[in-house]
Structure 1
Amino acid sequence: MNEKLKQLYQSVILQHNNHPVGYGKREGSAYTLDAYNPLCGDRFQLFFSLEDGRITGLGFHGYGCAISKAATSVLVKHLEGQPVQRALEMCRAFEAVVQPDAPAPSATEEDFEAFAAAREFPGRLKCATLSWEEISRFLEAQGVGG
């Protein structure tokens, strides 16, 4: 892992773990998803609504390792207010960044690029993608934005 990526990884993970975006239970959300990893025990609930084809009121609550919490915080930061189709594109982009066989990230959000370092820790890939995969599955199953 090059030094720039290592520093970016550490700063993004620490920032989002210590000061997560959208952390807290959300009353009145239309949807609550349970993102759970039985292998390590990470569990987050994602709260949101869909209004006029956009994700609104997005937040999360739960517990997990620093990587899963930071990745979920980044999800909230980037998907809140997005049209569903754009949110799905961002989910795919994030998931592609952390995949071991994917090319090095280019022209992605800096927050996403930081998680490319997770490639070097295959056991942590699920931690990074847990919430992203859950919301992506939900949106695709609803047939929205597709």
Structure 2
Amino acid sequence: MSFNNLDQLYRQVIMDHYKNPRNKGQLDEGSLTIDMNNPTCGDRIHLTMDVEDGKVSEAKFEGEGCSISMASASMMTQAIKGKEIETALKMSKIFSDMMQGNDYPNDLDLGDIEALQGVAKFPARIKCATLAWKAMEKGLSEQE
């Protein structure tokens, strides 16, 4: 597959998550709740997670923002569900490395998340892509 075709496929994956977000909504009261925003562009996220036996059993988000921010939140909630806290935090580190254009280990299947790797070429958009991940890190760090 040529680079242009791959780039187009990645754009389609991002737009699909933006237009048809997975895990949109919020969990019941008593769930771990994190609110964050990106003051430079106005993106905001309200992330709720249930953590049971050291695993993220459920994750949902609400928010407003650009297609990259909302698609990233959709992908992130989908990716961390059922994962141990340690694995979810490792995924966040891998994602952060990807956003910085650094090499990252590929020992975890990132699935649709890899569609966001092109964001690294646009430094102003990195904060959009990482907002949901930073919220997840904050919540899970407080949980531990």
- TM-score strictly above 0.5: yes
Note the aligned Cα RMSD (angstroms). Answer: 1.8
Query: 3-state SS of the aligned residue for 1:47?
Result: strand
Residue 26 of structure 1 is matched in structure 2 by 27
In structure 2, runs of 5+ residues without a counterpart are none
Cα distance change on mapping 1:3 and 1:38 into 2, 3 Å: same
The equivalent residue for 1:103 is 103
CA offset at residue 37 of structure 1? 0.4
1:126 maps to amino acid: K
**Displacement of 1:131:** 0.9
- 1:39 partner SS: coil
1:1-146 mapped onto 2 (5 Å cutoff): 2-100=3-101, 102-103=102-103, 106=106, 108-142=109-143, 144=144
Once the two structures are TM-superposed, the CA of residue 29 in structure 1 deviates from its matched residue by 4.2
Instruction: Give the 3-state SS of the residue equivalent to 2:27 in structure 1.
Output: coil
The answer to which of 116-125 and 4-13 deviates more is: 4-13
Distance 1:50 1:58 in 2: 9
Moved more, 124-133 or 7-16: 7-16
* Partners of 1:136 and 1:79 in 2: CA distance: 11
Q: Matched residues in 1 for 2:105 and 2:118: separation?
A: 11
**Alpha-carbon offset, residue 46 of structure 1:** 0.3
Structure 1, residues 52-102: CA drift from partner, whole Å, max 9, x if none? Answer: 1111221001111000000000011100121111111111111111113x1
Give the Cα–Cα distance (whole angstroms) in 2 for the partners of residues 17 and 122 of structure 1.
20
Instruction: Tell me: CA distance 1:56–1:136, structure 2 relative to 1, closer, same or farther (3 Å).
Output: same
Whole-Å separation in 2 of the counterparts to 1:29 and 1:66: 29
The Cα of 1:133 is off from its aligned counterpart by: 1.4
The percentage of counterpart residues that share the same residue type is 35
Structure 1 gap ranges (5+): none
Change (3 A) 1:25 1:137: closer
Change (3 A) 1:104 1:140: closer
Give the secondary-structure state (helix, strand or coil) at the position aligned to 2:51.
strand
